[in-house]
A and B are shown apart, each in its own frame.
Chain A
Amino acid sequence: MNLGITATQYLEQVKNGSLTVEEFIAKTMERIKKVEGSIHAYISLNDDAISQAKQIDKKLKAKEKVGSCLGMPISIKDNICAKGMKTTCASKMLENFVAPYDATVVSNLKSQDAIITGKTNLDEFAMGISTEFSYFGPSRNPWNADYVPGGSSGGSAVSVSALECIASLGSDTGGSVRNPASFCSVVGLKPTYGLVSRYGLISYANSIEQVGPIARTVEDTAFILNIISGIDTHDNTTIDKGKTDYTKDLDAGIDGKRIGIISEMIGEGVDKQVASATSKAISKLQSLGAKCSEISLDSVKYSVATYYTIAATEAGSNLARYDNIRYGFDFDVEGYEFNAYISKARKNFGPEVTRRMILGAFVPSAGYVGKYFLKALKVRSKIKSEIEQAFKKFDLLFAPTVPVLPFKIGEKIDDPLSLYLLDINTIVANLSGIPAISIPYEIAQGLPIGMQLFANSMQEKTLLQAAHALEKTTNLPGVPI
């Protein structure tokens, strides 16, 4: 059985009766058990997956109504709540937390008869770009297990790439869907802020994060976006734009589209092989009829400092609630004074979360708020305004997703600033709220390179059409694992 089929192929095969849900789910769970030892995509698995598959087969046989996913195996990042399953955020502080409710995105998938395979690994509380900061140990890149899979939704990207599910949900605060999608040669979308509900996504930086799909193809990504997007009364930052079918007219092409190549994201600091792949991708876009020219976005050079100032401040506030009293790890309250207990318990946050919380306490503090936090908010407004201006001249913007190839596990772990600087090509989309997608483009020295397209707010349809056009110009090998 080919577990590497796309969502579209899966649906066709289940519909025409050449595949049962039970056999596909059983093989998927078998595959997970076989490869997990070497790649560690999952933190926990759904023990009821096969019995849920049987139920869907039964409904299909009885010609009862079945949701549009037809039992498709989908994994969920472990910072998104799924009722009755552990939701740990890859942190010791939540290692025993069982979510009492479904996130809206999870209930949307369940209502369409998706089967949740399990909860995937991430950098603790989604803070990182390598999945090395998980309390449960790093995930590994299926293309070469000595290398990082990217992050923070590393487990989600690995699970799709290594054929342990058909699609996954991640969250993207500064590139956390697109970065691992690029490093693992899969598609990853960060939707417009407000297009997808954040209810049930454990908060890190509320004003910038979004849940986004990771899948094998742009068409599969559009299919998942159809299911998870839309207004939600539980998240009042969601925007009511009516329902759009993102899978429709995907073949529209990019003839005549004006594409701006962001100068600050293709020059200094970009690896030679990434630069070469970028040039080739631009030529392909031109050959498809797009009009490409460079655009300078001056504020990009301040975006890393802006992003980390705002994200750390929001993280400091969001993570203040974790005191290990209501849930958490086993540590008795007896014999401790209230504050002493909390300080001792909070020592169990991992290194990256601790660093960001300290930053998050410092940058908005009295005496420094004007220098850091308020300045960052002003620069964020400037970035938004530059992006608005850019979309008056262009339909889409373009850059490589990450300026470098995947790096070795442990290579950068002691230099947090060098890791932060690798976010430079992705965070602009989060700071301005616009959608962006990473498309697998090349394999260099056995390691994946992804290309990124950005569109104006709520222009996911245009974005997916362009991504689909670029995707069709590639012919990439299958994952070696």
Chain B
Amino acid sequence: MVKREEIVHAANLIKIDLEDHEKYIEQVEKILNYFDILDKASPESESFVIQEMPLDKLRDDKYVPFNEKLITQLKNYKETFVKAPKMI
């Protein structure tokens, strides 16, 4: 059984503030309960395939300059810097 505080903790990890979101917690709990069906699945083996990309298939690691005006498409910048909130 999943604990509610664990769901809130997971949300905090991805920077989502769930303080007033009781409805989300209930819905996520219900969905996770449904996911328990995976306990009944019996995979043929304990292995699984993940996508791997051999190094020789990667494109060349070359610097390709983009349009220098690209930064003007950002909503908050000064010269060539992005303006962000203060860290402390």
A residues whose Cβ falls under 8 Å from a Cβ of B: 96, 98, 100, 207, 233-234, 236-237, 299, 301-302, 304-306, 308-309, 316, 320, 323, 325-328, 330, 333, 336-344, 346-347, 349, 351, 354-355, 357-363, 365, 367-368, 371-372, 374-382, 384-385, 416-417, 420
Contact = CB atoms under 8 A, between A and B. Distances in A.
B16 A346 contact: yes
A233 B59 contact: yes
Given A325-B76, A378-B47, A309 B17 contact: no
A371 B38 contact: yes
B85 A372 contact: no
Contact of A339 (B15, B66, B74): B15
Interface residues on B, range: 35 or more
A358 B45 contact: no
User: Which 8 A-B pairs rank lowest in CB-CB distance, beginning with the nearest?
Assistant: A378-B43, A361-B10, A377-B48, A341-B85, A362-B10, A333-B85, A302-B41, A361-B14
Given A236-B59, A299-B41, A378-B45, A305 B34 contact: yes
Contacts of A299: 41
Contact of B28 (A343, A362, A379): A362
Of B2, B41, B57, B85, most buried by chain A (CB within 10 Å of CB) is B85
A357 B75 CA distance: 25
Contacts of B13: 361, 365
15 contacts: A207-B51, A236-B57, A306-B41, A308-B35, A309-B35, A330-B75, A339-B15, A344-B17, A349-B16, A354-B24, A355-B27, A358-B16, A363-B32, A375-B38, A375-B43
Given A207-B51, A358-B11, A359-B32, A305 B16 contact: no
A363 B30 CA distance: 14
Contacts of B43: 375, 378-379, 381-382
A434 to B, nearest CB: 15
B35 A326 contact: no
B28 A358 contact: yes
A416 B30 CA distance: 9
Contacts of B16: 343, 346-347, 349, 354, 357-358
Given A100-B66, A358-B16, A360-B14, 8 more contacts: A302-B38, A349-B16, A357-B14, A358-B10, A359-B28, A365-B6, A375-B39, A378-B43
A341 B16 CA distance: 11
Interface in B58-81: 58-59, 66-67, 70, 73-76
Contacts of B32: 359, 362-363, 372
Contacts of B73: 98, 100, 327
Given A207-B51, A377-B50, A379-B43, A328 B31 contact: no
Given A96-B75, A343-B17, A358-B24, A371 B39 contact: yes
